[in-house]
Amino acid sequence: MKNSFKRPKEPSSNLAETTSNNSYYKEESVNLNDWMKEENLRWTLHHTRQLRPSVNVWRGDSAPTPLIHELHDLDDLSVSGMDGQITSLVDILKQTDTDAFLVMHQGKVVYEKYFAGIQSYYPHGLASVTKSFVGILTAMQLHNGNIQLDDTVEKYIPELSGSAFADATIQQLLDMQVVCQYPQLFPQASYIDNQLQILLIAVGAQMAENNYIGPKTIYEFLSCTSKAVDHGTKFLYSNGPTETLGWILRRISGKTLAELLSEQIWSKLGSEEDAYFTIDKVFTEQASGGLYATLRDTARFAEMLRNDGFYNKQQIVPKEVISEIRKGGNLKLYTASESVKYKPRYSYHNQWWVNHGNKYGAFEAHGIFGQRIHIAPEAEMVIVQFSSYSDRQKYNDSFKLFDKAFSDIADHFN
């Protein structure tokens, strides 16, 4: 049966912080084969669980941690636009299909804006920002001595013996130094697009053709790989390493990722809302991109990391975990990779992007379509951005745009 959902009309908001776009309210059919189209993407990124199965990340039963608002009007803050000309912050947010945007400075919300009728309580797709959450959970297990950096995958997941991941180490997975060959099931697609198409079917985010012979679960997706180059010799940002980390976390803890995230982080933040993971047909969470959360709760998470893991009157993540991330990754391998074209001043370490050109010591999480967490400890600032930017080339080009814009915002408060 074709999995589809009839989009309902939703009431417009009178909130001053929300801007509306009438095209958002059109009733259209959205299904697993067209949700990434430009006209459907914004709706899908905060209604995904109406298309796909999911599992809650429980917020706990304590009261939400209050967020102090001291709002500044940053709409007209001067920043460099897509064409290099000076424009306003609100204009570049609109130009890049931003859905929601929040800035915290010194622990207070100084700017919070929603677009196209999106509300503060809507969970939004974090895409590959999910990887950075999994990186934190993995680093906490390392800190507690439950796994070791030089342990190989097959020690914990013998099911992956014979795959590309079998002899990869935990550290190589964390730093994207595992390059896999996937079966070329989509002959006209590039390496990245072929791998992505296979993953989308495996996680249940896209319908397979009747004659499709590829993997149909996340674990099958990992098992169908072969090694392309020796591990630790090349940087390639991809999804398989994080999905493998997710499997290891489940195996050593005896818990789902949703349970781990809830128990170790989400319930301790004083989150306002449950988060959730999308799951495949055998109930496995998508570790590489399946997490959904609200803007404010994601900001709480970011603020906790800015404060070296301390938030809501408790040490949630060990300080050493954050200190290690901020060291950055292997610059030699990174600068030889394709990623450097769009993120020239970065490296990648423990599933986080580290911005070596940022004067405020920023480290970041990035997700396709324009999801971002920006943590600038030396500016005492965090920024969270949710977007539905469907043009992949413009999305790639936007990294440099927001690298500069985030620095402009930090300069304004410092």
pLDDT at 39: 85
pLDDT at 393: 84
Token pair, residue 47, equals 């209604």
Can you list the positions of beta strands (E) in 21-146?
A: 29-31, 54-57, 78-80, 86-88, 98-105, 108-115, 124-125
Mean pLDDT of the chain: 91
**Average pLDDT of the segment spanning 307-322:** 98
CA nearest neighbour of 5 among 21, 27, 26, 36:
27
**Average pLDDT of the segment spanning 76-86:** 85
CA 291 – CA 285 distance, rounded (Å): 8
Q: Is residue 147 part of a domain?
A: no
pLDDT at 56: 98
Q: Is residue 210 part of a domain?
A: no
- Cβ-contact 325, 349 below 8 angstroms: yes
pLDDT at 220: 96
Residue 16 has pLDDT above 60, yes or no: no
Q: Is residue 165 part of a domain?
A: no
Q: pLDDT by residue (tens digit) across 323-356?
A: 999 999 999 999 999 999 999 999 999 999 999 9
Q: Which H or E run contains 364?
A: strand 363-367
Q: Which domain holds residue 43?
A: 4-139+247-413
What lies within 8 Å, CB to CB, of 35 at 6+ separation is 41, 44, 51, 205
CA 159 – CA 35 distance, rounded (Å): 33
Q: pLDDT by residue (tens digit) across 264-293?
A: 999 999 999 999 999 999 999 999 999 999
Q: Is residue 111 part of a domain?
A: yes
Q: Is residue 98 part of a domain?
A: yes
pLDDT at 215: 94
pLDDT at 28: 64
Read off the pLDDT band of 13 (50, 70, 90).
very low
Q: Is residue 190 part of a domain?
A: no
Q: pLDDT by residue (tens digit) across 159-187?
A: 999 999 999 999 999 999 999 999 999 98
**Average pLDDT of the segment spanning 221-243:** 96
The alpha carbon dihedral of 108, 101, 269, 355 has a sign of negative
Q: Is residue 54 part of a domain?
A: yes
Read off the pLDDT band of 7 (50, 70, 90).
very low
Q: Is residue 144 part of a domain?
A: no
**Average pLDDT of the segment spanning 119-124:** 95
- Cβ-contact 355, 364 below 8 angstroms: yes
CATH code at 354?
3.40.710.10
CA nearest neighbour of 166 among 226, 217, 237:
226
Could you give the C-alpha distances from 131 to 258, 349, 405, 407, in angstroms and in order? Answer: 14, 11, 24, 24
Q: Which H or E run contains 363?
A: strand 363-367
Total domains in the chain come to 1
Crossing angle for the helix pair 129-143 and 295-306, to the nearest 10 degrees? 40
Q: What percent of the chain has pLDDT over 70?
A: 93
Q: Which H or E run contains 240?
A: helix 240-253
